[in-house]
Homo-oligomer: A and B are copies of this chain.
């Protein structure tokens, strides 16, 4: 191999190969522009830096002490971590004080994988096909799958705080908590009762707790 000649051509090489000016290796969200059905327009690649690929917001515990559920969820979704835009992945951190819960909820747009870092929880999942309950005590290092759109929950049954991380199959998985959907908005209690069979007193009590005005 004739290296002296190779040296001469090394500058030419770069321009003789295709420019790839727009190869969508990634599409860092430009959050200042309107989002579309699959995400935000991309930040100009020329302005992308290493920090667009890194997020440090999950390193600190959420504050569980001022939560009704004694838990806190800290998210790294596309609006916090624009690098995830369009890529089919996101994360969150969960902190549950002893006795804390992650209330019954779904993620309309994503499957979830939970990993326990510290402590242990009872986690449950309910299938849509036949209302089957899948219930398990998870310890450090265990992972559990919650398929997209299915109701699930966790309870910290131990004496120590739980630290956990969850991964989602979408940069914006959504979160619909049953309590918030029923009792934290203007949905008329008349309709809540008709479509859930909950008693009026129960509905009114929880609307007071969650700030519902219906």
CB–CB A26/B147 < 8 A: yes
Mark out the residues of chain A between 68 and 98 whose CB falls within 8 Å of any chain B CB in the assembled complex.
68-69, 72-79, 81, 83-92
List, in ascending order, chain B residues with CB within 8 A of A162's CB.
none
CB–CB A205/B3 < 8 A: yes
Centre residue among A62, A134, A139 by max chain B CB count within 10 A: A134
CB distance from A150 to the nearest CB of B (A): 6
CB–CB B23/A59 < 8 A: no
Sampled A-B contacts (20; CB under 8 Å): A1-B197, A12-B66, A17-B73, A22-B77, A22-B79, A25-B150, A26-B145, A33-B41, A37-B85, A49-B134, A50-B134, A55-B143, A56-B142, A87-B169, A104-B196, A122-B191, A124-B187, A131-B181, A154-B195, A202-B202
Q: A13-B211, A38-B86, A153-B191 are in contact. List 12 more A-B contacts (CB 8 A).
A: A1-B197, A16-B67, A17-B180, A18-B175, A22-B77, A27-B37, A117-B117, A126-B181, A131-B181, A131-B185, A149-B149, A151-B178
